[in-house]
């Protein structure tokens, strides 16, 4: 069946993105929102809007019963969770299906399997996908962990078995540091995800973060090539590119094919991302995790392939088979996405919500701005600081960066501090221009580029 109506269980720029994709397909849209988001652009764009709770995300966007109640009352057929909030919650996906609705995403069983990083590593191993040296399963105690980390060798990464977004992660350089950080990571994982389980991985010192976009219909799976996501602050991506730079063709082929094998191993359905660490020194790559949702950085893939990933998600959820063959997916040019947030890089990235007094966004060929802003809009202080994503395309990486510099210079979001100055600086940085970066590059660089910003992690 083709979906004719859907509810967006999210907010901000991804809600706007989903609404526009759905309405282009002739689908009726319903936007749920908190009391703080009554004036949000997605509320204005949707065919219908329903308030589901107070500003607190726990009482609105994370309130499963409130979301389902809005769906029942508005008579929609499907729910799109976007990213974050309930998007990777297997219990929510199951509740949606039990309510007789369509969950626009993977099946609950796949979300549960791949959402547990320990189980995901086992699935990857079965599919012949290399994994980072580490524990075979969960590590329940320091007593069991000590001999393991001594065998792996330092530095090691302590990671939450559940969840994502950089939460519940610590890097230990010595055994003494490991013993101090292990209980902290467990406590944070328990608080963030309701699961204090941990596992351990070897740290690849100069690793790059490369991820592969997949699409699947439960029977067939394809990849839409890879993205470079190595520029990160506190394990949160700041700047993303597609395709990955300085990646040998044989490595690109192996990465992408391994992601498809993993998708087939679990009969994956929908859009997803398989994430890897790539070792520049050896050319080896290692599986990290699968994100069972649309990614924040999906526009760079759309810009180089011409595929509307959100519309494909909706079609697949409605029961349509994959309409794209692997040989149809062709890379054209290069794209870069800058995440613009309401933070002040000159003040240790201090959150800076406020009212948008002026808004000037460059327009033209090869430019895209995914956002939920408009002049006069007051950005609420209760949620993620992402304001929008400036996405630029060029015939090659050099042309793309040149266009990006021009676009950043013309971008003005008045009334609040943003990270536009950070991206301006990155676009001039020789190491970035040369593609000589890795996942631990940005934070030390910030000490010089933005002296008020310390690079040490909060532990």
Q: What is the pLDDT of residue 458?
A: 37
Residues 149 and 238 grouped into a single domain: no
Q: What is the pLDDT of residue 1?
A: 67
Q: Tokens in use for 27?
A: 């689908």
Residues 412 and 277 grouped into a single domain: yes
Strand, helix or coil at 170? strand
319 belongs to a structural domain? yes
Residues 322 and 435 grouped into a single domain: yes
121 belongs to a structural domain? no
Residues 316 and 433 grouped into a single domain: yes
113 belongs to a structural domain? no
Question: Scanning the structure block, which residue is given the tokens 């890097």?
Answer: 171
Question: Scanning the structure block, which residue is given the tokens 């950085």?
Answer: 297
Q: What is the pLDDT of residue 457?
A: 43
Residues 173 and 281 grouped into a single domain: no
Residues 51 and 92 grouped into a single domain: yes
Residues 279 and 226 grouped into a single domain: yes
Question: CA-based angle 98:292:32, to the nearest 5?
Answer: 55
Q: What is the pLDDT of residue 163?
A: 64
Residues 243 and 340 grouped into a single domain: yes
Helix axis angle for 108-115 and 90-98, nearest 10°, is 170
Instruction: Tell me which residues are annotated as active site.
Output: 293
For each of the chain's 459 residues, which pLDDT tens digit applies? Answer: 699 999 999 999 999 999 999 999 999 999 999 999 999 999 999 999 999 999 999 999 999 999 999 999 999 999 999 999 999 999 999 999 999 999 999 999 999 999 988 899 899 999 999 998 888 878 888 888 899 898 888 999 998 887 666 666 889 999 999 999 999 988 888 887 788 889 898 888 889 999 999 999 999 999 999 999 999 999 899 999 999 999 999 999 999 999 999 999 999 999 999 999 999 888 999 999 999 999 999 999 999 999 999 999 999 999 999 999 999 999 999 999 999 999 999 999 999 999 999 999 999 999 999 999 999 999 999 999 999 999 999 999 999 999 999 999 999 999 999 999 999 999 999 999 999 999 999 999 999 999 874 444 433
Helix axis angle for 12-24 and 309-317, nearest 10°, is 70
Whole domain around residue 96: which residue ranges? 5-104
Q: What is the CATH number of the domain that holds 384?
A: 3.30.470.20
Residues in the chain, how many? 459
Phi-psi sector, 283: left (phi>0), alpha (psi -120 to 50), beta: left
Residues 238 and 175 grouped into a single domain: no
Residues 189 and 216 grouped into a single domain: no
Residues 100 and 180 grouped into a single domain: no
Give the number of domains in the chain: 3
Residues 99 and 146 grouped into a single domain: no
């Amino acid at each position: 069946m083709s979906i004719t109506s859907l509810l967006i269980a999210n907010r901000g720029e991804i809600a706007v993105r989903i609404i526009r994709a759905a309405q282009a397909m002739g689908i009726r849209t319903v936007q749920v929102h908190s009391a703080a988001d009554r004036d949000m652009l997605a509320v204005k764009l949707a065919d219908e809007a329903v308030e589901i709770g107070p500003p607190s995300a726990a009482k609105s966007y994370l309130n499963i019963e409130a979301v389902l109640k809005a769906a029942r009352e508005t008579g929609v057929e499907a729910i799109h969770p976007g990213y974050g909030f309930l998007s990777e919650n297997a219990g929510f996906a199951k509740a949606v299906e039990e309510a007789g609705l369509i969950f626009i995403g993977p099946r609950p069983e796949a979300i549960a399997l791949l959402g547990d990083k320990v189980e995901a590593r086992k699935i990857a191993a079965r599919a012949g996908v290399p994994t980072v040296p580490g524990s075979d399963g969960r590590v329940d105690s320091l007593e069991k962990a000590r001999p393991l980390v001594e065998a792996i060798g330092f530095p090691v990464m302590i990671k939450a078995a559940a969840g994502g977004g950089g939460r519940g992660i610590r890097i230990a350089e010595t055994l003494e540091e490991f013993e101090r950080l292990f209980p902290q990571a467990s406590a944070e994982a328990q608080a963030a995800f309701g699961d204090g389980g941990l596992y351990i991985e070897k740290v690849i010192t100069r690793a790059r973060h490369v991820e592969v976009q997949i699409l699947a219909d439960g029977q067939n799976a394809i990849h839409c090539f890879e993205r470079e996501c190595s520029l990160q602050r506190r394990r949160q991506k700041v700047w993303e590119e597609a395709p990955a730079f300085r990646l040998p063709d044989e490595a690109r082929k192996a990465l992408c094919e391994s992601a498809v094998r993993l998708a087939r191993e679990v009969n994956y359905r929908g859009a997803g991302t398989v994430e890897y660490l790539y070792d520049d020194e050896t050319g080896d790559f290692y599986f990290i995790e699968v994100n069972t949702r649309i990614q924040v950085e999906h526009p760079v893939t759309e810009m180089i392939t011409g595929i509307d990933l959100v519309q494909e998600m909706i079609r697949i959820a409605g029961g349509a088979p994959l309409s794209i063959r692997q040989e149809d997916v062709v890379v054209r040019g290069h794209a870069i996405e800058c995440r613009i947030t309401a933070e002040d890089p000159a003040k240790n990235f201090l959150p800076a919500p406020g009212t948008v007094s002026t808004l000037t966004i460059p327009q033209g060929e090869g430019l895209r701005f995914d956002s939920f802003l408009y002049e006069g809009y007051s950005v609420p202080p209760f949620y993620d600081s992402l304001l929008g994503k400036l996405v630029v395309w060029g015939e090659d990486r050099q042309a793309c960066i040149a266009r990006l510099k021009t676009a950043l210079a013309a971008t003005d979001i008045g009334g609040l501090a943003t990270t536009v100055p950070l991206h301006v600086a990155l676009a001039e940085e020789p190491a970035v221009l040369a593609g000589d970066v890795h996942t631990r590059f940005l934070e030390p660089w910030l000490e010089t580029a933005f002296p008020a910003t310390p690079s040490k992690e909060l532990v």
